[in-house]
Structure 1
């Protein structure tokens, strides 16, 4: 069993515990780390399908009846020891410091935006937030739905002043099926949205390790509803991308996509439009929205460790924990660079836990190849206690 050092040291705040996915002691291990904190919310990352349902049933027998249990399958996990695979990470949020409620946003492929808006606003009104505490939203979404962009825009419209972060559920590197858990049901083609309130201080942490090059390309043919580029610069998209990146077409792998991202400029910032695969017709499948006429810039990977450490050191106080949604393409780039152990050490140092995603959500946007986190910190000395 691996448990968050904060739990061992008796510190307050969320607690992460991790166990092997196929281990016989999976449930006892997770319960051993969760029961002592009387959680209001438990997030489960790493299990798929029926195992998610079995975990939910087993945990409910031993946790408070009003505890919200949600989770999803992943493309990798981040636990108390850093990066891992073939494991389950459970993150418990103590009821003494947190209050949570969850709802399912169904039928993502049909985009029932009006229903989503009505449901989200009703949920917010019924929750009755305490203005003396911090309120935020968490979003888990089917990473194969292709609708994250519309979903986060809906959330931003329904709850415009609410900070929301989240991640797209993964399926390793198979990209075949994902599973989400909510209300004791395992589902696909849905999103799970949580309203969470805490008396801890919170701060968003985002980091992307890329920068633009002078090389640009225009999307001259695409299937936007499938997030697929057919042509770049009026050439087969995969072949033109390989040429621009200086690669042989037979070397177009997820690791190379991570090293040479396609960037979309929005305002003053560039955001990755990550490539997931080459299609049979030499097109490119993406993990984010794309349209004909879009100008894309070829990116290059920058330092993935120093900048990340700087972003976390800039927090006003050391975090009790950082809830993390970390793109699988970032992890692949770290593996290729031989920096996985170094990054895992940083995750241990800053008490980071979460999962590797097929995309990340923050600031009303769906992005890729980015670390998106929420740091929980003890209130600043002198702050009045929340009632």
Structure 2
């Protein structure tokens, strides 16, 4: 825990902290003791369901008067020390480097596309009033991970923001898949999303990383419950049986670890995106994390080395951006499960620690207008030219 007298008074860039204190009160105090007393544009909180979300957001908001606090619950945390569980991670954005405007979206179960476009446009206009141009702007989106409306929300918001890049994640609930929470105005909200637009003079670049390649094996969704994201039949056969045949496994093996190792892909605009399965139902149907549709063609995926793919992405970003101060990351929980199952979780965690990839494990990732699975998305923040290393 940092001495309050040693806090920096004029912060710069993004400050990343974490706490594993046992109680809400202790964790909120620990986080705040590591942050500067003022000069912050906002604080983002990524909170394990180990803590009560209502009590935590109330406690930390009370300790940070005048500083906007946002965030969500997680399925695991990407901390400054690598992958964590049962922790809270905080990202504090310095007011000297960032201008922030936000818009909550409540009642996602009744979400209308025209309303999403209106809210996105209004927020963009508010940011323009703070600075005048769209240059140097990116957006973060945090969404209730159980809402099953991510595709409609992202499509509507993206359409209203012109060329402003968007990244984000769907809030998590460990591996319980019961209820997730988004934080705004000192309260925890379910059935809600948060759009945050950020202008910065620092260099930045959105990124996306996965480790799957398409094979020649195809499956067509021939019967589905679209609202519930449930596939009942693939290729006119029971969904679980046909999926197992296509990826070459026994149906007795179906569990979250196997789904993590064998996602399916959809092709959109010439690129492939992962569509991951959440669970198998007793009737042999498959519930997905992302929207599905009858007639959708699913491609069985081939896995490549996750660590190598992440290293390639990090090198590409640095080649483009120069020195990076932090990677703000939103990573599918299935990537972590796959790493744990195949015993390279420690190597991935150390890679994230060494490269300052900080954020949370999600129930889905946002990138541009897309809601995807089994992916690491985010934004890399560079350093100001001439700043000390």
TM-score by length of 2: 0.91
Does residue 140 of the first structure (1) align with residue 142 of the second (2)? yes
Match of 1:239 among 236, 241, 244: 241
Alpha-carbon offset, residue 60 of structure 1? 3.0
Does residue 378 of the first structure (1) align with residue 379 of the second (2)? no
Contact in 2 for aligned 1:38/1:64 (Cα 8 Å): no
Cα deviation digits, residues 69-111 of structure 1 (max 9, x gap): 1111111001011001011111111111112122111111112
Alpha-carbon offset, residue 276 of structure 1? 0.2
Alpha-carbon offset, residue 17 of structure 1? 0.9
2:349 paired residue number: 344
Match of 1:280 among 282, 288, 305: 282
Contact in 2 for aligned 1:231/1:237 (Cα 8 Å): yes
247-256 or 23-32: bigger deviation:
23-32
Cα deviation digits, residues 231-275 of structure 1 (max 9, x gap): 011111011111222211121111111111111111221111110
Question: How many residue pairs are counted as aligned between the two chains?
Answer: 376
Match of 1:319 among 302, 319, 324: 324
Q: 1:265 to 1:21 in 2, by over 3 A?
A: farther
How far apart, CA to CA, are the structure 2 residues paired with 1:21 and 1:362? 33
Q: Which runs of 5+ in 1 are unaligned?
A: 383-387
1:332 paired residue number: 337
Alpha-carbon offset, residue 21 of structure 1? 5.6
Does residue 97 of the first structure (1) align with residue 74 of the second (2)? no
Task: State the secondary structure of the residue aligned to 1:372.
Answer: strand
Does residue 83 of the first structure (1) align with residue 88 of the second (2)? no
Contact in 2 for aligned 1:11/1:320 (Cα 8 Å): no
Task: State the secondary structure of the residue aligned to 2:176.
Answer: coil
Alpha-carbon offset, residue 64 of structure 1? 4.8
1:28 paired residue number: 29
Contact in 2 for aligned 1:16/1:33 (Cα 8 Å): no
Q: 1:11 to 1:57 in 2, by over 3 A?
A: closer
Task: State the secondary structure of the residue aligned to 1:226.
Answer: coil
Cα deviation digits, residues 111-141 of structure 1 (max 9, x gap): 2222222222122212225338611111000
1:250 paired residue number: 252
How far apart, CA to CA, are the structure 2 residues paired with 1:112 and 1:133? 28
Does residue 44 of the first structure (1) align with residue 45 of the second (2)? yes
Does residue 267 of the first structure (1) align with residue 294 of the second (2)? no
Does residue 74 of the first structure (1) align with residue 74 of the second (2)? yes
How far apart, CA to CA, are the structure 2 residues paired with 1:37 and 1:203? 27
Match of 2:311 among 309, 312, 317: 309
How far apart, CA to CA, are the structure 1 residues paired with 2:174 and 2:45? 16
Task: State the secondary structure of the residue aligned to 2:324.
Answer: coil
Contact in 2 for aligned 1:68/1:100 (Cα 8 Å): no
Q: 1:38 to 1:58 in 2, by over 3 A?
A: farther
147-156 or 94-103: bigger deviation:
94-103
How far apart, CA to CA, are the structure 2 residues paired with 1:225 and 1:257? 21
Cα deviation digits, residues 162-203 of structure 1 (max 9, x gap): 111110001111111111111122111111111111121111
Contact in 2 for aligned 1:21/1:47 (Cα 8 Å): no
Q: 1:74 to 1:254 in 2, by over 3 A?
A: same
282-291 or 129-138: bigger deviation:
129-138
Q: Which runs of 5+ in 2 are unaligned?
A: none
How far apart, CA to CA, are the structure 1 residues paired with 2:49 and 2:183? 9
How far apart, CA to CA, are the structure 1 residues paired with 2:163 and 2:111? 23
Does residue 150 of the first structure (1) align with residue 155 of the second (2)? no
Match of 1:355 among 352, 360, 372: 360
Structural RMSD (CA): 2.2
TM-score by length of 1: 0.92
